Structure 1
């Protein structure tokens, strides 16, 4: 009997201790006491030299991002984040907001705005996010944050992810506003071609299943209703399938998508997207070669395959010549890779661009970059980067050069 009483007493003490631990773990104050401040500062010098009548651009900007990521309370958390982009020195570049139209473009306008402001709920079977948020799907070829520009692209809406089985992720997002890289608007030089806010009603559906380490299959449909985007043919429905994986250091990607009109798009769209990529990684050195096709289409207006919400700088060359797919489409044959060098990372790429419809030569591009952490300063990384586009039948010769320092805390 004494043993039973001692056991019951021990159980009661243990239960009480566990109860207090649970209460402490789920205390409302955890939102603040377990939160952390966010700080990211990025200085950049960008030079643009084009073979046309525009003056060369020389832009010095600094982006300061501050915020607070809360802790969790019963799976709930919050994030608030603000950006400021400021010019250093003369405005000898066209930011789309400063009226300097006799200079080449550097799309980093001055201004301050809320970058993210959201509520998040996490559960063992998924998550939900409400508010202004960063959305990067797959490799960001169709939906991304354009993090390369000083003012990141973020989305106002709701995103839900469900993970009912190991390896299976179901994603749905509804977006009613896109905060573009051209924001914030200043009311002076705003045009339909550089909208700070892209209004509309978009639905993003993405189903990803990791069948095995060597194979991941992703099916998606992105219904983009972009009401006030100037370039015609941007509201579209894109449906596709992506297969990717790696075996013994050899990686591959195969992808196909079809694009048709959506919402109030007056154009009759019917174009295709193809991607085939093969890579090999050994001792930190990665080599890749690929062939990407965005189909063109004849008829009134530009009915080629478009990717208006993509992180476009990561594709088809760093000179950003093909941000809008030409009416005849584009075929991009590329090869390149990255390797460790003197404690940093060297990357180099070559692109051959041709029209999809008649294979006429658009031009060629060479891209080179080198990134290295700055010794003695944790979180500080330096970058030098160069892009050279040699025009043939499309656009003009363009050289771009960057020097960047970024500190993240």
Structure 2
């Protein structure tokens, strides 16, 4: 399917793209909406970065306003559109990737005004479909996600469809990707940071098991702007949980194989593996994990469309996998007191090929809702490179409103 979608192309250049909600879209949850109405989201965030590679620290105070409207106009059908406005509140003492302030560390929240989503959707108990600009979120977003941590969200011009077979059968999803609208904003002066032109085919199968759930996937993605990101990926993911007396054991096991595809000029072959057991006892959850993105010194396993901030540490040192791969061994503990939720984690990084030490990171966060619409977050991460790169410390404080 290398043929562009005419309707998608037309609406993209008009500044408005329709999307039908699909099983691969995060808006899947919105199909349960009971009434039409506005959507309002406001997030004010302070992010400071102390990076030893720079003589100046970054201080970014940004506002993200998202306004949308959902219209349920017929049984099973709805229309939705939203737009984003991102601005800097108190000057540009940071490199937004678009403001030219390269003497400062990067805080990738450039000012922008853009259409984030716009879709028309249909769903019933078994079938759903999607066409146009939308979120694409699969599994834990390790391969495809909306990068909701950044002020500018990642969305895709895409076609998506899903079908749930009866009698406990599998859920089958297919997504065609035409374009990725990246987190760096559609007004970024660098075209490659604004968007990527894609020819991607995503197949995803979920099957409930007597113990847990098994997902199998096959992703063929040609990136027409960054040819080395054109890959085919095949993998499987098993997740589940089992309750014991006073405790719950949960797990995630995943394996994937990735190779070059379509216009990729380099021969690539790398593997991904994840082992993550988790136990919850008396309101405290302990997680241990081992995640490996393979590399051979020439190329490495890549996940460029993922919600990367959720993986391999919060300072985002490993948004691009080093050519020798990444071996991330981590531990976290989390819980609640009152309405507040807290998490502390530790990562130890090394190369998959050659066993080079990449350093370690400690992170802690606390979030608390206020009333029914507000949420506050305080978060800190400290990366020590052990000689691999520069040390980095980051601090975030944010308040978010959702209606």
Return the TM-score normalized by structure 1.
0.87
- 1:337 Cα deviation from its structure 2 partner: 2.5
Where does residue 236 of structure 1 map in the other structure? 231
- 2:267 maps to 1:265: no
Residue 202 of structure 1, aligned match among 191, 194, 200: 200
- 1:36 Cα deviation from its structure 2 partner: 1.2
Where does residue 185 of structure 1 map in the other structure? 187
- 1:269 Cα deviation from its structure 2 partner: 0.8
Between the two proteins, the alignment pairs up a number of residues equal to: 366
Pairing 1:366-385 to 2, within 5 Å after superposition: 366-374=362-370, 377-385=371-379
Whichever of the two has the greater Rg, that structure is: 1
The secondary structure found in structure 2 opposite 1:233 is helix
Where does residue 23 of structure 2 map in the other structure? none
Where does residue 216 of structure 2 map in the other structure? 219
Question: CA contact under 8 A between 1:360 and 1:393: conserved in structure 2?
Answer: no
- Partners of 1:252 and 1:215 lie apart in 2 by 9
- Partners of 2:231 and 2:278 lie apart in 1 by 31
Question: CA contact under 8 A between 2:188 and 2:194: conserved in structure 1?
Answer: no
- 2:47 maps to 1:52: no
Give the direction of change, closer, same or farther, for the CA distance of 1:33–1:139 in structure 2 (3 Å limit). Answer: closer
- 1:53 Cα deviation from its structure 2 partner: 2.9
Question: CA contact under 8 A between 1:321 and 1:395: conserved in structure 2?
Answer: no
- 2:382 maps to 1:388: yes
- 2:308 maps to 1:312: yes
The more displaced of 73-82 and 87-96 is 73-82
- What RMSD over aligned residues (CA atoms) do the two structures have, in Å? 1.5
- 1:285 Cα deviation from its structure 2 partner: 1.8
The secondary structure found in structure 1 opposite 2:233 is strand
Question: CA contact under 8 A between 2:94 and 2:106: conserved in structure 1?
Answer: yes
1:322-372 superposed Cα distances (whole Å, 9 cap, x missing partner): 000000001000000211024301101000000001111100000100001
Where does residue 240 of structure 2 map in the other structure? 245
Return the TM-score normalized by structure 2.
0.88
1:251-277 superposed Cα distances (whole Å, 9 cap, x missing partner): 011110000011200010110001001
Where does residue 9 of structure 1 map in the other structure? none
Pairing 1:339-354 to 2, within 5 Å after superposition: 339-354=335-350
Greater relative CO, 1 or 2 (CA 8 Å, sep 6+): 2
The secondary structure found in structure 1 opposite 2:104 is coil
- Partners of 1:258 and 1:233 lie apart in 2 by 16
- Partners of 2:355 and 2:127 lie apart in 1 by 45
Runs ≥4 in structure 1, deviation > 2 angstroms? none
